[in-house]
Structure 1
Amino acid sequence: MTSDDPTDEISDIEDRIERLAGIAERCRKYILASKIAIGSGAALLLVTILGLFGLGQTAALGAIALVLGGIVSLGSNVSTLRQTDGAISAAEARRAALIGRIDLRVVTDTPMKLV
């Protein structure tokens, strides 16, 4: 391998892309959980306001906290997901540029001659 051989850097970039993909997947899971928390909190707040099941002020405060916490978590994870997707795109572009610099040769299937 020569000093300008980009294969090591390509390997490092692929490792980075895998790590970033893991972060993106975790963000997607947290986004789903945040949406569930917002929906659950809103439903609990509605039930509390309507006076169903005899829930009191504590349930209403808990529901408000659940909605607000879900909103904060959703916003944070959406932002992180956008940044991570941008980093993945940049890494993939860099990897493609490095692969483009490699002098690839075509390998063909030639039948072997038996002696």
Structure 2
Amino acid sequence: MTEDDLTDEISDIEDRIEALAEIAERCRKYILASKIAIGGGAALLLITILGLLGTGQTAALGSIALVLGGIVSLGSNVSTLRQTNDAISSAEALRSRLIGTIDLRVVEDTPMKLV
């Protein structure tokens, strides 16, 4: 494999890492939204059970659905985030190995002469 091929492959891997980082960030946002849904549903269920706002059975069922939906969404996104982080780690390790195979040259600083 030539050095240009390695450079192209490293560039492709960096693009992949960037795309995976965006997926991870999106998962983090969904995880936060899921936690908010779980908390909101639990609070609404507590309010309904205590009868504080005079809400009925529909609010109780809605709050239960909100909690369950939040739990499912949370679990799914946590799993996806773990898989994405593993993929990022693998891609970074591959990138490091490829960079290690390139014959890098040390560039030394030379003093500049003033004219």
Percent same amino acid among aligned pairs?
Answer: 83
- What is residue 4 of structure 1 aligned with on the other side? 2
Which consecutive segments of 4 or more residues in structure 1 shift more than 4 A?
none
> Could you say what the CA RMSD is over the residues aligned between the two structures, in angstroms?
1.1
Deviation of residue 111 (structure 1)?
2.0
Instruction: Measure, in 1, the Cα distance between the counterparts of 2:114 and 2:23.
Output: 53
Deviation of residue 109 (structure 1)?
1.1
Deviation of residue 113 (structure 1)?
4.3
TM-score, normalisation: structure 1: 0.94
Instruction: Measure, in 1, the Cα distance between the counterparts of 2:56 and 2:69.
Output: 20
* Pairs aligned (count): 113
Deviations 1:3-61 (A, max 9, x none): 42210000000000000000000000000000000000000000000111101000001
The answer to whether residue 23 in structure 2 is matched with residue 23 in structure 1 is yes
Instruction: Measure, in 2, the Cα distance between the counterparts of 1:55 and 1:66.
Output: 16
TM-score, normalisation: structure 2: 0.94
My pick for the range that moved more, 82-91 or 103-112, is 103-112
Deviations 1:58-91 (A, max 9, x none): 0001100100000000000001000000000000
Instruction: Measure, in 2, the Cα distance between the counterparts of 1:4 and 1:64.
Output: 60
Gaps of 5+ in 2: none
Question: Residues 1-115 of structure 1: matches in 2 within 5 Å?
Answer: 3-5=1-3, 6-113=6-113
Deviation of residue 112 (structure 1)?
3.6
Instruction: Measure, in 1, the Cα distance between the counterparts of 2:114 and 2:35.
Output: 67
Gaps of 5+ in 1: none
Deviations 1:81-109 (A, max 9, x none): 00000000000000000000011111111
* One-letter identity of the residue aligned with 1:30: Y
